[in-house]
Structure 1
Amino acid sequence: MLSIIGYVMLLSMIYLLLKGKSSPIVLFISLPILAGLLGGFSPVEIGEFAAAGLEKTTSNAVLFIFSITYFGIMNDAGMFDILIDKLVKKAGNSVVAITVVTAIIGIIGHLDGATATTVLVTIPAMLPLYKKLNIRPQVLLLIVAAAMGVMNLLPWGGPTARTAVVLGIEANELWKVLIPIQIVGVFTTVGLAVILGSIEKKRGAGFDSSKLSNENNLATAELAATMTADELSLKRPKLSWFNILLTGCVIGVLVADIMPAYIVFMAALSIAIIVNYPNKKDQESRIKAHAPAALLISATMLASGVFVGVLGESGMLDAMAKTLLSLIPSFLAPFIHLIMGVVALPIGMFLGTDAYFYGLLPLVIEVAQTYGITAMNVALTMILGKNVALLISPLVPATFLATGLADVELKDHIKFCFGWLFAISLIMLAFGIVFRIVSI
């Protein structure tokens, strides 16, 4: 009975999330409570289940509040504007250099883990050059998608934080395991940019070097033109190097694991906002500007604790796993984590992030543990492909923002990017196995 209730709850959640019928926060709270009541549990027991789940999500929710606000303020201050401008100018009239610079800007731009921000920083800056060079805009979107997919493995990235919640560990702890694979992903993204640039050059992309000086300044002019007077007033170009150094220190402390990640961002946010916006009114304005995004994501993560707690503590997940286990051919079951790693990208495209990590992942973990496969092993295989699918998923709003800015049809974008991104996900999975981060 618990198994049936669990699957009905899971399928209902997936359906409602895909159809956009309700907020994830509402679904993560209401559906588990209803399922618990149908399963015969008392309100007191359901409250205990939910409390146990919330213990797993609280620290990561706090991390999101302060990390999103920190990187939002860094973006307001124009932390990487100087670097991006210099990179674009140095690329000159080289098609390959332009595609490589796109990859670097995408990687740098996604340090904040915000998909919309990365799209707005990268595409308006590079699209004018792509048009003048006669490089297909699909190439720009593909490189940005790869960069975002790789960088979203950071501890403040949504998938990593959600996976950490399911595993019941700190997001920073999971990220430290993923770092070698992420480094491979960064080099793979740059390599992809070189390959795509070479392909575009063979197709005839490029322009007359006599126009070089004008084209070098075009991207910066186009990007500035998209900014309002208020946005320009927030820029702090003289503090760019301080902000870059501060962010480097933040990442260094996170890698060293000296203190909890959310404490690191609390301290960094305080320093950043005092230095960049010493006026109290400006400080409050910047915090209020980024509060909606920070609080919405953090509230969703806290609400997911109710779902995770009821699903696990009630025995519902165990019952669901036993049902699924009876349906899987015995010769395939010991390799379920690898199978899920291979198909993670196509599944991730059509299954929303919350449904994938809070619904599918716990179920696969429970089944895999029957065959001695650790929860961490399953999580590592399933997060890689899903991350890379980020900007080709119709369920991600930034996908429509990106295709709109580049004036590319969604179907053409997916058709062009799918194979390349699928290859990147498989490469990262393969290196995970080679590095023995993922066990066969």
Structure 2
Amino acid sequence: MLTFLGFAMVITFMYLIMTKRLSALIALILVPILFALFGGFSAKIGPMMLEGISKLAPTGVMLMFAILYFALMIDSGLFDPAVRKILKLVKGDPLKVSVGTAVLALVVSLDGDGATTYMICCAAMLPMYSRLGMSPRIMAGLIILAGGVMNMTPWGGPTARAASALHVDPSDIFVPMIPAMAFGVIAILAIAYMYGKRERARLGELHLPTDDIDHSEISVSQFPEARRPKLIYFNAALTAGLMVALIAGVLPLPVLFMIAFSIAMIVNYPCL
């Protein structure tokens, strides 16, 4: 009976969300309560909900501050030099464009937000695909492959959900997966190379009129006033330190991201 109720609950709130009858937030609050009442748990709903909140709170805090941290790093311009370098190197060679797309997607998807990754990668690379005559499906495929690997980070979602279900710290799941993620990155670059070689054979290497464009002003930050180019080295060191502390398990992940975000905010945007 509980299994039936569980699957029926998932199907119900997915249907309500996909048909846009309810927002995800409202559906995920009300539908489980209604099914709990239907299942005869009316007397236990309060304690059960509070117990669920207490178990999931650390994961929620970790996700929130991780997304805030990486969003801050993107807006401050930490990844701009890498993006500019990629765009400068690819030029009119389909092979370089394909590999550059994969590298860019891997870098940008570090924040675990798929929508941001697509917006940035499409804005940067799609015009180049159009000018060269390359298939945009290659770009879409490489971006989603990169997102699949980088989504294994604790702040990407699946790892956090697995940690919540197993009642362990997300780092206990994430750290052993790092070798598999590294292999996944290598595999994506190999696929990008294969696609690029095929497109190069089909189209040839072209010299575009825009090959000599100055890329110094290109940025993945959506807010020009938020960029902090003078703090790139500090932000890079802070991010590297955060990753080392995360892998070493110096502190629980929620605490690490709260501290890192607070330091980054104070240094990058000291004016309240």
Question: What is the TM-score of this pair, normalised by structure 1?
Answer: 0.58
1:220: Cα distance to partner? 6.5
In structure 2, what residue type is equivalent to 1:266? M
In structure 2, what residue type is equivalent to 1:38? F
Gaps (5+ residues) in structure 2?
Answer: none
1:36: Cα distance to partner? 2.2
1:205: Cα distance to partner? 4.2
SS in 1 for 2:153: coil
SS in 1 for 2:154: coil
Q: Number of paired residues? A: 272
1:90: Cα distance to partner? 2.4
Alpha-carbon contact 2:77-2:221 (below 8 Å) kept: no
Partner residue, 1:99: 98
Partner residue, 1:81: 80
Question: What is the TM-score of this pair, normalised by structure 2?
Answer: 0.90
Does 2:51 match 1:47?
no
Q: Distance in 2 between matches of 1:203 and 1:87?
A: 22
Structure 1 pair 267/227, CA: closer, same or farther in 2 (3 Å)? closer
Alpha-carbon contact 2:88-2:215 (below 8 Å) kept: no
SS in 2 for 1:259: coil
Does 2:104 match 1:108?
no
Superposition pairs of residues 149-228 of structure 1, within 5 angstroms: 149-208=148-207, 211=208, 214-217=210-213
Superposition pairs of residues 3-402 of structure 1, within 5 angstroms: 3-43=3-43, 45-208=44-207, 211=208, 214-217=210-213, 231-280=223-272
Structure 1 pair 227/36, CA: closer, same or farther in 2 (3 Å)? closer
Deviations 1:71-116 (A, max 9, x none): 1111111111112112221234432122111111111101111112
SS in 2 for 1:156: helix
Alpha-carbon contact 1:103-1:193 (below 8 Å) kept: yes
In structure 2, what residue type is equivalent to 1:34? L
Q: Distance in 1 between matches of 2:45 and 2:28?
A: 13
1:49: Cα distance to partner? 2.1
In structure 2, what residue type is equivalent to 1:253? A
Q: Distance in 2 between matches of 1:159 and 1:168?
A: 14
In structure 2, what residue type is equivalent to 1:173? D
Deviations 1:248-290 (A, max 9, x none): 111111111110111111111122112211212xxxxxxxxxx
Alpha-carbon contact 1:80-1:244 (below 8 Å) kept: no
Percent pairwise identity: 34
Gaps (5+ residues) in structure 1?
Answer: 281-440
1:37: Cα distance to partner? 2.1
SS in 1 for 2:211: helix
Deviations 1:50-69 (A, max 9, x none): 23322321101011221111
Q: Distance in 1 between matches of 2:64 and 2:221?
A: 25
